[in-house]
Structure 1
Amino acid sequence: MSTETKSHLTTAVVTNQAALLEGWLSTLASLQTRRDKGSEAEIRQQASLFLNLLPKALASGDLDINKPAWDEIKQLLSEISKSRASQGISPIDTALFIFSLKEPLFSYLQTSISNDPLALVHETTAASILFDKLGLYTVEAYQKTRESIIQRQQQELLELSTPVVQLWENILALPLIGTLDSARTQVVMESLLQKIVETGALIAIIDITGVPTVDTLVAQHLLKAIAAARLMGADCIISGIRPQIAQTIVHLGVNLEDVITKATLADAFNIALKRTGATLSSK
Structure 2
Amino acid sequence: MSQNTYQLLQNKKKNILELWMKNQLTDEGLREDLISNDELRNQSEELIDALVGNLSGSNLTNLESDEWNPVIEILGGIAITRARQGFSPRETGNFVFLLKEAILEVLQNEIDDPRALFAESQKINRLMDSLSVVTFETFIKGREEVILRQTDEITEISTPVIRVWDGILALPIIGTLDSARTQIVMENLLQEIVESGSSIAILDISGVPAVDSLVAQHLIKTVSATRLMGAECIISGIRPEIAQTVVHLGIDLSNIITKATLASALAYSFKAMRLEVKRLNTVSKI
Short-chain TM bin: 0.7 to 0.9
* Greater Cα shift, 87-96 or 265-274: 265-274
Q: Secondary structure at the match of 1:213?
A: coil
Give 2:97's aligned residue: 99
Report the Cα distance in structure 1 between the residues aligned to 2:142 and 2:27, rounded to whole angstroms.
Answer: 23
Pairwise CA distance, 1:124: 1.0
Give 2:40's aligned residue: 43
Change in CA separation of 1:137 and 1:260 when aligned onto 2, cut-off 3 Å: same
Change in CA separation of 1:212 and 1:106 when aligned onto 2, cut-off 3 Å: closer
Change in CA separation of 1:32 and 1:84 when aligned onto 2, cut-off 3 Å: farther
Change in CA separation of 1:71 and 1:277 when aligned onto 2, cut-off 3 Å: farther
Asked whether the 8 Å contact 1:113–1:120 carries over to 2, the reply is yes
Give 1:53's aligned residue: 50
The yes-or-no answer on 1:33 pairing with 2:19 is no
Identity, % of aligned pairs? Answer: 45
Q: Secondary structure at the match of 1:100?
A: helix
Give 2:18's aligned residue: 22
Report the Cα distance in structure 2 between the residues aligned to 1:224 and 1:45, rounded to whole angstroms.
Answer: 54
Give 2:68's aligned residue: 70
Q: Which runs of 5+ in 1 are unaligned?
A: none
Q: Secondary structure at the match of 1:78?
A: helix
Aligned partner of 1:10 among 1, 6, 12: 6
Matched AA of 1:31: D
Report the Cα distance in structure 2 between the residues aligned to 1:48 and 1:127, rounded to whole angstroms.
Answer: 18
Report the Cα distance in structure 2 between the residues aligned to 1:110 and 1:23, rounded to whole angstroms.
Answer: 13
Which string of whole-angstrom CA distances, capped at 9 and with x for unpartnered residues, describes residues 78-117 of structure 1?
A: 1111222223222222112112122332233334442x43
Which string of whole-angstrom CA distances, capped at 9 and with x for unpartnered residues, describes residues 154-175 of structure 1?
A: 2222222222111111210012
Q: Secondary structure at the match of 1:237?
A: strand
Count of matched residue pairs: 278
CA RMSD of aligned residues (A): 2.5
Asked whether the 8 Å contact 1:205–1:238 carries over to 2, the reply is yes
Pairwise CA distance, 1:271: 3.0
Asked whether the 8 Å contact 1:196–1:232 carries over to 2, the reply is yes
Pairwise CA distance, 1:274: 4.1
Matched AA of 1:235: E
Pairwise CA distance, 1:54: 1.8
Asked whether the 8 Å contact 1:12–1:108 carries over to 2, the reply is no
Asked whether the 8 Å contact 2:24–2:30 carries over to 1, the reply is no
Report the Cα distance in structure 2 between the residues aligned to 1:110 and 1:265, rounded to whole angstroms.
Answer: 73
The yes-or-no answer on 1:117 pairing with 2:114 is yes
* Greater Cα shift, 55-64 or 170-179: 55-64
TM-score scaled to structure 2, two decimals? 0.85
Pairwise CA distance, 1:44: 0.8
Pairwise CA distance, 1:49: 0.8
Report the Cα distance in structure 2 between the residues aligned to 1:156 and 1:100, rounded to whole angstroms.
Answer: 36
Report the Cα distance in structure 2 between the residues aligned to 1:280 and 1:59, rounded to whole angstroms.
Answer: 83
TM-score scaled to structure 1, two decimals? 0.86
Report the Cα distance in structure 1 between the residues aligned to 2:27 and 2:93, rounded to whole angstroms.
Answer: 11
Asked whether the 8 Å contact 2:13–2:52 carries over to 1, the reply is no
Give 1:162's aligned residue: 159
Change in CA separation of 1:275 and 1:227 when aligned onto 2, cut-off 3 Å: same
What aligned pairs does 1:1-283 form with structure 2 within 5 A after superposition? 5-36=1-32, 39-63=36-60, 64-114=62-112, 116-276=113-273, 278-280=275-277
Matched AA of 2:128: F
Asked whether the 8 Å contact 1:206–1:238 carries over to 2, the reply is yes
* Greater Cα shift, 100-109 or 220-229: 100-109
Matched AA of 1:99: F
Report the Cα distance in structure 2 between the residues aligned to 1:52 and 1:153, rounded to whole angstroms.
Answer: 35
Q: Which runs of 5+ in 2 are unaligned?
A: 281-286
